[in-house]
Each structure stands twice: as structure tokens, then as C-alpha cells.
């Protein structure tokens, strides 16, 4: 196949990965980014949030070090230095992305892109306008925070996740609108850094859509941390009174008010598709803002592809990166398609939570006969040495075939452990495959093996009543 000219719009985890792979495959590629290399994830999302979360976790460990006989004074936080350290990580990673694109021969343009016709992308930047002509266009524009009425994110009184990652001081009382994974990750982080935290969630529980057994552990942990959680509650308005913000909320039909120092709105994100010129080529996003694509990431318009958040749920960086790789291969003439059996989800709360595959509720809805096995970290020697024994590993299997259908974890470093579970589902492994695999001792992954044994009623390190 002859070399194709490709323009990738957006340099987040979907776009830059697609651009690098296209260049590796010998294509003539130009990546256009309107703001910063690495996109939301590297600059104001996944990476900086995990840096600050790591800082909060370290402070928490220091506070409990006396249990190990380590005597330390109360830790003091230099907020400016913490933010500077976080920014240093971001700078290294984003600089690395730009260097990789250049080293592989991809051209880069900083500016705002707009599709102006078939195979034509107009870019407006500091140097003026230019039109890029190409054979294929890849739309990888990511997503943006959703604003709710009365709570526009001005990054002053009302933070989005972006503002929450650049604090100049730790707020005395932080009100978090939204009890999903972003709100809880940041809310728990600020609680560890010294804030009083109030979480407002519209549904009946935190982390809607996640495995409920795991969520219960997170809810108990939030309570232990002193976080106030209001469920079935809606944020209605706020006003500034001196140094305080007075929020009005509606809880089960009744209005209440309370004071806080900072508001963080984390009610979700929507695909970024405005002012892209989609109408010029006959593309119309769905009601939710997504572009419909096939397994090769093709939109309905020949020569135009979409990857990442704009290509549909789940809106996760690693899903976008995988789509970027597939899209590049397809454009380069290789036989490939997006056929992932599962996409892992990781949540950096305290304790951490991770899931892959079907939840127990989903298995029930599908009418599948199933079995479950669970192993608590309270019985893990390694978890004890880390002083992190809350949580468990839960495996859901097909009762007839023994195939692994879903794995859900809550506890220490489960965001790392979930990779084994994802591989098991991707390979069509059985529970017995996991149980018979020797896991190193003493390690946290042993909990995966023990949970597999528990499915069959043969776990060694906890007592199970024999099944009749």
C-alpha cells in the first residue's frame, strides 16, 4: 500500500499514540494539538491527579508510622512545592510525547483544527492560518468537563478537576459535586491533605455503575476519613458571603444550605466536538456527543476516523490508546480491528478499586449461571506488612464453563493487580487456570489465586464452610 497523508486532530493518549504508530508504519502524518501535548490526561487529568493522590497517601502513611515504631513529627505540607513537583512530572511526560513524535518523523502543529472539506483541515495558530491537505483525518479531540446550571467552573469559586490540580492553598472545607470516580479520588485526596470534605451525589450511592460489594468498602472508608456524603442530593446554587461560599442543596425534596470554602464540580465529561467543522463533511454527533464508528474506527464518512473519548464509552485513556493503535494499522493497510473483550477500570480512591469484565448485577441480567469467589486482604500477609488490609478480590465465573467473567478488587495496589485479571478474560482463561498458576509469596497477587480457589470452595488461607 502506498504511503498515505494523515492528519490527526488531538494529541492526547488516543491521538499521539495513533500519530506515533502511523509514523512507525511509514505514513506521512501530521498531529495537530490546540493546547498541550499529551492532552487532558497527561496535563490536567490522570497523571497530575495521581501525583497529588500519591502525596496524600504518603502523608497518611507517615501519620500512622508509629504503629511500626517509627516516631515522626506531624508532617507539614508546602502546597507550592507540591504543585511544582507535580508540574515537573507533567513537563517530563509531555516533553517526551513531543520528542517521540518528532523522532519518529511525525510533523507537529500547535493550533486549533477545523475540518473544512474532504481531506482538508484548517489550522489556526499563533503564526496564522494554514490548510493541511491529506488522504485521511483522525479525530482524537478527547472530552471536556460538564458544567451544571449555577456552577460554571471558573476555577476560582468553582473548580473543575483542572482547578483542583493547581491549588494555591488547601481549602478548609471542600464541597464536591458528584460522587463518581473523579470526585471521590480528588475528595479523598483533599481529605488526606487536611480538608473537611462534603460529597453530594445525585444517585442512591457512591460510584454508580461499579460493583456494589467493592463500593461498600469505599463508602466505609470515606466515613472513617470524616467525609460527609449526601446521596440523592442535588446542588442547586451558591453565593459568596465574605470569605465563605453558601451552597443550597436539595436532599430528597427538601432544601438545605451549608457553608464551604471551595466547590469542586465533577459531574462528568462530554466529548469535545464543537467548532470542528463536522457538518462540512456530513458528520453529526449522537445526542451524547459521540461519533459512531465501526470496528476499524471508521466514521460513516470515508477517510475520516475517530478514536478516544469522542468514539464512545468507556471514556478512558487506555481504551483510547488501543483505538489509536488499531486505527493506525487500518490506515496503513493492515488487517486489524478493535476487538477487546474487556477494558479495565481503575479508581485511585482510598483504598483503591479496580474492575474488569462483568459485574455480578450484569451477569444476573444476562441470565448466566455463575459462581463467585472472594479473598480478603485481611488474610494476606503482604497486605498486613503494608498496614492496608481493607478490601478483597472477587472473581465471577461461568458456572458451566468455569470461564472468568469478571474480576473486581478493592484494596492495596489493586490498580496494578487488575492487569492479570484483564489478561485472563482476554485469553478466555478459566478460574482453574488462575488457581493452578503459581503466584510468588509473599505478594498481593496471591489474593487473585486464593479468590480463584474460593470459587471452587478450596481456598487455603480462609475458612469456607463445605458446600453440600
Q: Report pLDDT for 127.
A: 79
What is the Cα–Cα distance from 266 to 235, expressed in whole angstroms?
12
Give me the mean pLDDT over the 25-30 stretch. 98
Q: Which of 385, 393, 400 is nearest to 453 (CA)?
A: 393
- pLDDT for the residue 468: 67
∠380-382-384 over CA atoms, to 5°?
Answer: 70
Q: What average pLDDT score do residues 233-252 get? A: 96
User: In whole angstroms, what is the distance from residue 123 CA to residue 128 CA?
Assistant: 8
The fold of the 5-144+270-331 domain, in CATH, is FAD/NAD(P)-binding domain (3.50.50)
User: Residue 249 forms beta bridges with which residues?
Assistant: 235, 256
pLDDT above 90 for 321:
yes
CATH class of 158-267: alpha beta
Split at pLDDT 50, 70, 90, the class of 28 is very high
The pLDDT of residue 425 is: 98
pTM tops 0.75, yes or no? yes
| Percent of the chain with pLDDT strictly greater than 70 | 100
Sign of the dihedral defined by the CA atoms of residues 444, 450, 452, 455, in that order: negative
Does the structure show a pLDDT above 80 at 467? no
Neighbouring residues of 224: CB distance < 8 A, sequence distance ≥ 6: none
> Per residue in 61-73, pLDDT tens?
999 999 999 999 9
Averaged over 215-235, what is the pLDDT?
97
Average pLDDT over every residue of 42-60: 96
pLDDT tens string 120-158: 999 999 878 999 999 999 999 999 999 999 999 999 999
Mean of per-residue pLDDT scores for the chain: 97
pLDDT reported for residue 1: 63
Report the C-alpha gap between 328 and 8 in whole angstroms: 10
Same fold, 5-144+270-331 and 158-267: yes
Under the banding of pLDDT at 50, 70 and 90, the label for residue 446 is very high
Residues 101-120: tens digit of each pLDDT: 999 999 999 999 999 999 99
Domain boundaries, the chain: 5-144+270-331, 158-267, 345-455
Residues with a catalytic annotation lie at 441
Is CATH 3.40.50.300 correct for 345-455? no
Q: Which of 347, 373, 344 is nearest to 358 (CA)?
A: 344
Q: What is the average per-residue pLDDT within 372-395?
A: 98
> To the nearest whole percent, how much of the chain has pLDDT over 90?
97
Neighbours of 80 (CB within 10 A): 11
Q: What is the mean pLDDT of residues 304-332?
A: 98
**pLDDT value, residue 316:** 97
Beta strands 233-241 and 244-251, pairing class: antiparallel
- pLDDT reported for residue 37: 96
Amino acid at each position: 500500500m502506498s504511503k498515505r497523508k494523515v492528519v490527526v486532530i488531538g494529541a492526547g493518549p488516543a491521538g499521539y499514540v495513533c500519530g506515533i504508530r502511523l509514523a512507525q508504519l511509514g505514513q506521512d502524518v501530521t498531529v495537530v494539538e490546540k493546547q498541550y501535548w499529551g492532552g487532558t490526561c497527561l496535563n490536567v487529568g490522570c497523571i497530575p491527579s495521581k501525583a497529588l493522590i500519591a502525596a496524600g497517601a504518603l502523608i497518611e502513611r507517615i501519620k500512622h508510622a508509629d504503629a511500626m515504631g517509627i516516631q515522626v513529627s506531624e508532617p507539614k505540607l508546602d502546597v507550592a512545592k507540591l504543585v511544582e513537583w507535580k508540574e515537573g512530572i507533567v513537563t517530563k511526560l509531555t516533553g517526551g510525547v513531543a520528542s517521540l513524535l518528532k523522532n519518529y518523523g511525525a510533523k507537529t502543529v500547535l493550533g486549533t483544527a477545523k475540518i473544512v472539506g474532504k481531506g482538508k483541515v484548517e489550522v489556526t495558530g499563533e503564526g496564522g492560518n494554514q490548510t493541511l491537505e491529506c488522504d485521511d483525518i483522525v479525530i482524537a479531540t478527547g472530552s471536556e468537563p460538564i458544567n451544571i446550571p449555577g456552577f460554571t467552573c471558573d476555577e476560582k469559586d468553582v473548580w473543575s478537576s483542572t482547578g483542583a490540580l493547581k491549588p494555591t492553598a488547601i481549602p478548609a472545607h471542600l464541597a464536591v459535586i458528584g460522587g463518581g470516580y473523579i470526585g471521590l479520588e480528588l475528595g479523598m485526596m483533599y481529605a488526606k491533605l487536611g480538608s473537611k470534605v462534603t460529597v453530594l451525589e445525585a444517585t442512591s450511592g457512591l460510584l454508580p455503575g461499579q460493583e456494589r460489594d467493592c463500593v461498600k468498602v469505599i463508602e466505609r472508608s470515606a466515613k472513617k476519613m470524616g467525609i460527609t456524603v449526601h446521596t440523592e442530593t442535588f446542588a442547586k446554587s451558591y453565593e459568596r458571603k465574605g470569605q465563605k461560599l453558601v451552597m443550597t442543596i436539595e436532599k430528597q425534596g427538601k432544601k438545605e444550605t451549608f457553608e464551604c470554602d471551595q466547590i469542586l464540580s465533577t459531574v462528568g465529561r462530554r466529548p469535545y466536538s464543537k467548532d470542528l467543522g463536522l457538518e462540512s463533511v456530513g458528520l453529526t454527533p449522537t445526542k451524547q456527543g459521540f461519533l459512531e464508528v465501526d470496528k476499524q474506527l471508521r466514521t460513516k464518512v470515508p477517510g475520516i476516523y475517530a478514536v478516544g473519548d469522542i468514539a464512545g464509552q468507556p471514556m478512558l485513556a487506555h481504551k483510547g490508546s488501543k483505538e489509536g493503535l488499531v486505527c493506525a494499522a487500518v490506515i496503513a493497510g493492515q488487517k486489524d480491528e478493535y476487538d477487546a473483550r474487556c477494558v479495565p477500570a481503575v479508581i485511585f480512591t482510598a483504598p483503591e478499586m479496580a474492575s474488569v469484565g462483568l459485574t455480578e448485577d450484569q451477569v444476573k441480567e444476562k441470565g448466566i449461571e455463575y459462581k463467585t469467589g472472594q479473598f480478603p486482604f485481611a488474610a494476606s500477609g503482604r497486605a498486613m506488612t503494608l498496614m492496608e488490609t481493607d478490601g478483597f478480590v472477587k472473581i465471577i465465573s461461568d458456572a458451566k464453563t468455569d470461564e472468568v467473567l469478571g474480576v473486581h478488587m478493592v484494596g492495596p495496589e489493586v490498580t496494578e493487580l487488575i492487569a492479570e485479571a484483564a489478561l485472563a478474560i482476554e485469553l478466555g482463561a478459566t478460574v482453574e487456570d488462575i488457581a493452578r498458576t503459581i503466584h510468588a509469596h509473599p505478594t498481593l497477587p496471591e489474593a487473585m489465586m486464593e479468590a480463584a480457589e474460593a470459587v471452587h470452595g478450596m481456598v487455603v488461607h480462609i475458612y469456607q464452610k463445605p458446600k453440600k
